[in-house]
Structures are given as C-alpha cells and as structure tokens.
C-alpha cells in the first residue's frame, strides 16, 4: 500500500494513463480526487473505484481554467482533510504541422493545456502541500520535449513538454525545504487513445523504441506510482524517462 491514506489529485483521469493510474493508486490505498473534462467517464471511474473498496471523488472541468485547479484542491480538502500529492497528467498533442504553417490558435491551445495548466496546478497545490509539511507533485512531460526527442511537426507539443521539465526543476529548487518533491515523468509511445488505433502507425512507433514496442498504460502508471510514493523520497527535480529507450535512439 504505497499510497496508503494519501490524498492524490489526478488530472486527465477519464482515460488513458490517468485512468489507469487512478485504478492503480486506489489499489495502493490512495484517496483520489479525479479531474477531467468528460463528466460521465469520470463518474463511472469514481464509482468503479468506490465499489471496489477504494475512495474517490471527481470533478469535471478544464485544466486551462485556473478556477478548476483551485476547485480540485478544495475538493481534496473538503473530502479528505488535505492534499498529499498530485499527478498532473492532462494534456493534448494538437495538430502535427510545421511551425510556419501552424495557426496561433493551435499553439495557444497546446501551450495552455499542457503547460499553463501546470502553472495553475502548482499555484494551488503547493500551498495545500505546505500545510501538510510534505508532498509530491508529478507532471506528465514526454520524450518529445527532452534530449534528442524532438520530432517534426510537433513544435507546440515539444515546447510545452520541455517547459514542464523546466517548471518541475524550478519548483523542486524553490520548495524542497518545504518537504515538497516535484518531478516530471517522460513516457514514450503508449497505447492510449492519443496514439490512435492505426496498426501501421503503432508498428512504426514501436520500431522507434529499442524495446521494440509501445508501452502499456499500466507501465507508465507504475512509474508515476514510484515518483509519488515514499520510495522516491530522495528524488526531486528529475526528468524521469519511461520511454522504452526512444530518447537515446532518436
């Protein structure tokens, strides 16, 4: 029970890595505050967790809305007495198009969803964690925003995910003495809805990884569990890859 009695916020919880992490964290004893835009899917997930003996509440909203970040923290405090950690996982890829051809609307939407939302999250999560005297924040970045991971047509996505690494490192330096750890998790290609369902595309992405395959969402969720748990008590300011080696091949 690596998260026993810890209250954790998860955004992007209605599907993919977020949903898988919610099920895993609940099994590890966490009280969960689930956030995403799709209310019906969120409620179904919360019901599934509660019916299985876990503890979860949910709130639908948009991570681009500053008030939503505040509301998730308030929900954690109202239902569970405080906050111990957060898996800020919501994100989007946007259009895959070269920067000269990219519309500003696409750039702004990707940056707002992936990066500005992290600023909002930290703004409200950190004071709540300071009240506990400890805590852990985790952002879902990507190999695309790291090292040699840049890929054509993904300028907005890469910029947002690289920004998350810088944000995590800055926050870890600012709040380490508050007992707060902040890290970024960098998945490789993962079999979620964001990756689509085209077998040829999956085969191509799999071939980019030294392990020769894409990740299952459970594998990324396990990495997130480690970083949020006390097993990572001396890990902060990291950009931890769980990418099947793709960042060293590209």
Strand order in the sheet with 135-140: 55-60, 31-36, 7-11, 85-88, 135-140, 180-187, 239-242
CB 69 within 8 A of CB 123: yes
Strands 7-11 and 31-36: parallel
- Domains in the chain (CATH in brackets) are 7-249 (3.40.50.720)
Q: Would you state the structure tokens that stand for residue 128, as one six-digit string? A: 């709540």
CB 86 within 8 A of CB 137: yes
Kindly report the pTM of this predicted structure: 0.93
3-state secondary structure of 20: helix
What's the DSSP call for residue 240?
A: E
- Hey, which residues are catalytic here? 157
CB 95 within 8 A of CB 102: yes
Strands 31-36 and 85-88: unpaired
Going residue by residue through the chain, which has 250 residues, state the pLDDT in tens, using 9 for 90 and above: 899 999 999 999 999 999 999 999 999 999 999 999 999 999 999 999 999 999 999 999 999 999 999 999 999 999 999 999 999 999 999 999 999 999 999 999 999 999 999 999 999 999 999 999 999 999 999 988 886 556 788 899 999 999 999 999 999 999 999 999 999 999 977 787 776 777 777 787 777 787 888 788 999 999 999 999 999 999 999 999 988 888 877 6
- Residue 183: count of CB within 10 angstroms of its CB: 25
């Amino acid at each position: 029970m690596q998260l026993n009695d810890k209250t954790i916020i998860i955004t992007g919880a209605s599907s993919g890595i977020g949903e898988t992490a919610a099920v895993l964290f609940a099994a590890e004893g966490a009280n969960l505050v689930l956030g995403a835009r799709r209310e019906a899917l969120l409620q179904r997930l919360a019901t599934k967790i509660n019916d299985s003996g876990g503890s979860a509440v949910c709130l639908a909203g948009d991570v681009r809305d500053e008030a939503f970040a505040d509301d998730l923290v308030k929900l954690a405090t109202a239902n569970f007495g405080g906050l111990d950690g957060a898996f800020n996982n919501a994100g989007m890829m946007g259009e895959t198009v070269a920067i000269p051809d990219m519309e500003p609307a696409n750039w702004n939407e990707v940056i707002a969803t992936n990066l500005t939302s992290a600023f909002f999250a930290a703004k409200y999560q950190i004071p709540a964690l300071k009240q506990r005297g400890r805590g852990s924040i985790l952002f879902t970045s990507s190999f695309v925003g790291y090292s040699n991971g840049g890929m054509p047509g993904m300028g907005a996505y890469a910029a947002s995910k690289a920004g998350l690494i810088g944000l995590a490192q800055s926050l870890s330096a600012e709040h380490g003495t508050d007992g707060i750890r902040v890290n970024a998790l960098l998945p490789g290609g993962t079999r979620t809805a964001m990756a689509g369902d085209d077998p040829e595309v999956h085969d191509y992405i799999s071939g980019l990884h030294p392990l020769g395959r894409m990740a299952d969402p459970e594998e990324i969720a396990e990495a997130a569990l480690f970083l949020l748990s006390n097993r990572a008590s001396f890990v902060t300011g990291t950009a931890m890859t769980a990418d099947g080696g793709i960042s060293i091949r590209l």
